[in-house]
Amino acid sequence: MDKSDALTSFAALSQSTRLDVFRLLVKAGARGMLSGEIGEKLDVRQNTMSANLAVLLNAGLVRNERQGRTIRYFADFDTMRGLLGFLMEDCCGGRPDLCQPVIDEIACAC
Amino acid sequence: MDKSDALTSFAALSQSTRLDVFRLLVKAGARGMLSGEIGEKLDVRQNTMSANLAVLLNAGLVRNERQGRTIRYFADFDTMRGLLGFLMEDCCGGRPDLCQPVIDEIACAC
DNA sequence: TAAATATATCAATTAATCATGATATATGGA
DNA sequence: TCCATATATCATGATTAATTGATATATTTA
């Protein structure tokens, strides 16, 4: 994860539909979701959804896998990890009390 | 942290100078940095830096504090925490092995 | 192989964002 | 109060991004 990758990722997440899509896929985890399923759930037209998924793919935030006629999308937790690592690099100037709560927050109860 | 806040934050982080600024401030931690100091370090003109700091402020990703003629900026770790919490909400569909590495990554060594 | 379904690409219009020069505001010191 | 320093705001031109209708590609089924 270099700076350019990080910029691409943040840009991808800074659009309403794409943020919704990514959060849906985070929730879905290893199950993933079909492209059409996502579009239907979010009430977004087919070509708009395709374009937005392409942006997320390009950013590496999601992966996909063809299954017959359909394509299943997954959140890419490795990219997520790299992105947060990049953002928090050498964080908090030696005071763990600043960054520890940030870490605790995403310690999900799954 | 609602969706609109998250979008504003990601948009703020999706621009080169602002990403640099935020990462500098993350490293600086509680020390923070003066506006002019940041601009000098990143070689960015005064008004451009001011505009970019305003975007980060508006997103709540940084706070500031006037000190005489100068203004000191700080990364806001609470906002950061809220943002990551929002993004990873109900994450990984019941498989902790997916999201645990994400958490470990940002467990900084400070 | 033809039709149906699922998804992607293209071209064009509209909208948002960025850096910049010029200028304004605020604070401190002479 | 006048000047210098530090930062913010404004107006503008240039670049970039988003949605959409139309169309293309890929896969399955008949």
Residue B89 confidence (pLDDT) above 60: yes
pLDDT for residue A27? 93
Q: Which of B102, B52, B106, A31 is nearest to B62 (CA)?
A: B52
Domain ranges for chain B: 3-105
- Does residue B2 contact residue B82 with C-beta atoms inside 8 Å? no
Residue A5 confidence (pLDDT) above 50: yes
A23-37, A60-74, B14-28, B95-109: segment of lowest average pLDDT? B95-109
Q: Separation of CA A61 and C1' D30 in angstroms?
A: 39
A60-74, A80-94, B21-35, B41-55: segment of lowest average pLDDT? A80-94
pLDDT for residue A93? 65
**Contact across the interface for A98 and B78, Cβ inside 8 Å:** no
The pairing of strands A70-75 and A62-67 is antiparallel
C-beta atoms surrounding A20 within 10 Å: 16
Residue B57 and residue B66: Cα distance in Å, rounded?
14
Q: Which residues contact B37 (CB under 8 A, 6 or more apart)?
A: none
pLDDT in tens, A33-85: 999 999 999 999 999 999 999 999 999 999 999 999 999 999 999 999 899 98
Exposure string of A42-62, with b = 16+ CB inside 10 Å and e = fewer, is eebeeeebeebbebbeebbbb
**Contact across the interface for B77 and A94, Cβ inside 8 Å:** no
Residue A110 confidence (pLDDT) above 90: no
- Nearest nucleotide to the CA of A16, by C1', is D18
Q: Which of residues 55-94 of A touch B (CB under 8 A)?
A: 77-78, 80-82, 84-94
**Contact across the interface for A28 and B93, Cβ inside 8 Å:** yes
Percent of chain B exceeding pLDDT 90 equals: 76
**Mean of pLDDT values over A20-32:** 95
C-beta atoms surrounding A27 within 10 Å: 18
Rounded to a whole number of angstroms, the distance from the CA of A38 to the nearest CA of chain B is 16
A4-13, A78-87, A99-108, B71-80: segment of lowest average pLDDT? A99-108
**Contact across the interface for B77 and A26, Cβ inside 8 Å:** no
Task: List chain A residues with CB under 8 Å of B10.
Answer: 10-11, 13-14, 19
Residue A94 and residue A100: Cα distance in Å, rounded?
11
Nearest CA in chain A to B19: A7
CATH top-level class for B3-105? mainly alpha
Query: Which residues face A6 on adjacent strands?
Result: none
Task: List chain A residues with CB under 8 Å of B15.
Answer: 7
Tell me the residue ranges of DSSP E strands in A10-102.
Answer: 33-34, 62-67, 70-75
The pairing of strands B33-34 and A62-67 is unpaired
Query: Between these two residues, A52 and A96, which has the higher pLDDT value?
Result: A52
- pLDDT tier, A89 (very low <50, low <70, confident <90, very high otherwise): confident
Tokens of B25: 């401030």
A55-69, B22-36, B80-94: segment of lowest average pLDDT? B80-94
Residue B107 confidence (pLDDT) above 60: no
Q: Which of A65, A61, A69, A72 is nearest to A35 (CA)?
A: A72
pLDDT in tens, A8-21: 999 999 999 999 99
- pLDDT tier, A92 (very low <50, low <70, confident <90, very high otherwise): low
Task: List chain B residues with CB under 8 Å of A73.
Answer: none
A42 near B CB under 8 A = no
- Nearest nucleotide to the CA of B70, by C1', is D6
